[in-house]
Amino acid sequence: MIIWLNATLPLNSYFVDGFQTGDDYNYPMGNRKAPSSNTDDDIYFTHRGKIDIFNLSRKPGANNIEIKHDFILANDVKKSLLPILNSNSFVPLKANNSSVFAYTFTDSKKGVIVIGNLNFAKGANVVVNMPKGFKKGQILPIKISDMPQMKKGKIYLYLGAGEVVVLMIK
């Protein structure tokens, strides 16, 4: 979810360790005295499961291929969405479920719609109201598990636990 929020919001994505792609490396020298350091601290301070970016460690990595592919796709998508994201046209959308968030960014030709389920324990059938004046267009799925239905200014879909859906509307 974090990867896709970074890709669909106008902010700088900042990744310094492998956590976002499933890396759970436990740095063995964490919180021990360092024989040498490139900082003014002689202790290898680390957060559990995080790579120490200031002292000697290893390259971030992970073996979760699905998250890795999502990470690569989301960052490519962000590049293509920049004109829309920078248009200052953020509109929160109302959903029929309090555990679901939705928003859109649009310009005169296309828009991106993001819908996410904050309930990580169970899925939900969701109805999202589109803003007034929104015209039905061609839906281009960017990240979905099932194609949503659009009827009378509403989007109908099922979201799995913790699932995020990203749609482009032309």
We report the CATH number of the domain holding residue 99 as 2.60.40.1180
Q: Give the pLDDT confidence score for residue 58 in this predicted structure.
A: 62
Calculate mean pLDDT across residues 135-157.
83
What domain range includes position 146?
A: 82-169
Nearest residue to 104 (alpha-carbon basis) of 149, 169, 11: 169
- Domain total of the chain: 1
- Residue 75 and residue 79: Cα distance in Å, rounded? 7
Q: What secondary structure letter does DSSP report for 95?
A: B
Residue 63 in any domain: the answer is no
Position 6 in a domain:
no
Whether 101 is covered by a domain: the verdict is: yes
Decide if 147 is inside a domain. Answer: yes
Residues 15-60: tens digit of each pLDDT = 666 666 667 666 677 778 878 777 777 777 666 655 555 555 566 6
Q: pTM of the prediction?
A: 0.75
CA angle 153, 107, 158 (to 5 degrees): 40
Q: Is the pLDDT of residue 143 over 60?
A: yes
Residue 116 pLDDT class (50, 70, 90 cuts) = very high
Instruction: Name the token pair of 165.
Output: 């859906």
Does residue 150 carry a pLDDT above 90? no
Q: Quick check: is 106 in a domain?
A: yes
Query: Would you say residue 131 lies in a domain?
Result: yes
pLDDT per residue over 58-114, tens digit each? Answer: 666 667 788 778 888 998 999 988 889 888 789 999 999 999 999 999 887 788 999
Six-digit token pair at 155? Answer: 């989007």
pLDDT at 145 over 80: yes
73 domain-assigned: no
pLDDT at residue 157 in the model: 95
What is the mean predicted confidence (pLDDT) over 112-122? 95
Q: Which of 93, 122, 97 is nearest to 105 (CA)?
A: 93
Domain for residue 70, yes or no?
no
Question: pLDDT at position 137, please?
Answer: 66
82 compared with 170, residue with greater pLDDT: 82
Instruction: State residue 22's pLDDT score.
Output: 67
